[in-house]
Amino acid sequence: MILLSGWSDADELERKGDVEGLIRALGCHGSFLVRLDAAHALGRIGGARVVEPLIAALKDKDSNVRRAAADALGQIGDGRAVGRLIAALRDDDKYVCLAAAEALGRVGAPALKPLIAALSHKAWDVRCYAALALGQFGDARAVEGLIHALRGRHEGLRQVAAEALGRVGDPRAVEPLVAALKDNDHQVRWHAARALGQIGDARAVEGLMDALRGGDRGLRQVAAEALGAIGDARAVEALIPAVVVWHGAEAARALGAIGDVRAVEALIAALKEEDTEVRWSAIEALERIGGPEAERALAEHGARDK
């Protein structure tokens, strides 16, 4: 057996495929660096026989090792690790919690029901990390629980739930996400607008137009992007003022994505803006919309003149 004294010894064991040696290294009581590198190596090697030692490493005294073990278990994706990874969502180290959530998102089907159940855990941080994992998982069966989390009291959980619902992309989330556009926390509003753009349902247009007219700058930007992604012509009437009054490059790009000729005049005016990004976005939008008026304006200003 090779006596481990650092990273190079673990690398050598991995090159030789000495899984038993790496498992012994994972359980050694010396330097945490040995256990850390062994956990990483076992994750790369994979296989059923490394799962139980990595599960045991989720209780290691060093948080770096626990995090590496969680990451390795996520790479392997064995359902036997689900219970311990769920428990690791309450680790004292937030980075271990994040690694456990990401691992659960990669494990797949065996993790789905436990994660949905964890959305009802009494501790908000467990609910938050469960929502994060479910967003990565992307299964529509989580929608009901995520909507409940979106309507909860904790701002951080509402943020993560909104983001997760966008990744799942289920139309059932549209109504609660539109309601979240008026949340008292600006990050929740931002994530809700972004999620609605990802879902792409036209029922969100009116709510996003309201957010575009009255929101803070960050929300206006994301709402404009979402409206462009949805591509509904009703949004033009709200996006034009966003270009003219708020000098929004995102609004100009959204108008180009929608492709409505009503936007041409406002986009031509935006060619004179001092902001380079606004001018460039207006040029691209006019090129997408096309037509004689847009082509004349582009020719006069130089289609690629920043």
Beta carbons of 149 and 143 less than 8 angstroms apart: no
Residue 42 has a pLDDT of 94
pTM assigned to the model: 0.81
CA–CA dist 73, 80 (Å, integer):
10
Residue 14 has a pLDDT of 83
Residue 8 has a pLDDT of 45
Structure tokens at 290: 């096309």
**Average pLDDT along the chain:** 90
Q: What is the mean pLDDT of residues 57-68?
A: 96
Residue 207 has a pLDDT of 97
Residue 4 has a pLDDT of 43
193-243 pLDDT, tens digit per residue, is: 999 999 999 999 999 999 999 878 899 999 999 999 999 999 999 999 999
8-60 pLDDT, tens digit per residue, is: 477 788 888 889 999 999 988 778 888 999 999 999 999 999 999 999 999 99
Enumerate the CATH 1.25.10.10 domain ranges in the chain, comma separated: 1-108, 245-306
83-133 pLDDT, tens digit per residue, is: 999 999 999 998 999 999 999 988 988 999 999 999 988 888 889 999 999
Class in CATH terms, 245-306:
mainly alpha
CA–CA dist 240, 262 (Å, integer):
9
Q: What is the mean pLDDT of residues 247-269?
A: 94
Residue with tokens 């609605």: 196
Q: What's the distance, CA 20 to chain centroid?
A: 37
Q: Is the pLDDT reported for residue 304 higher than 90?
A: no
Residue 233 has a pLDDT of 96
Question: What Å distances lie between residue 49 and 20, 40, 110, CA to CA?
Answer: 9, 15, 18
Q: Is the pLDDT reported for residue 146 higher than 50?
A: yes
Residue 303 has a pLDDT of 56
Beta carbons of 135 and 167 less than 8 angstroms apart: yes
CA–CA dist 48, 108 (Å, integer):
16
CATH code at 1-108: 1.25.10.10
Q: Is the pLDDT reported for residue 246 higher than 60?
A: yes
Q: Is the pLDDT reported for residue 6 higher than 50?
A: no
10 Å Cβ neighbour count for 61?
Answer: 9
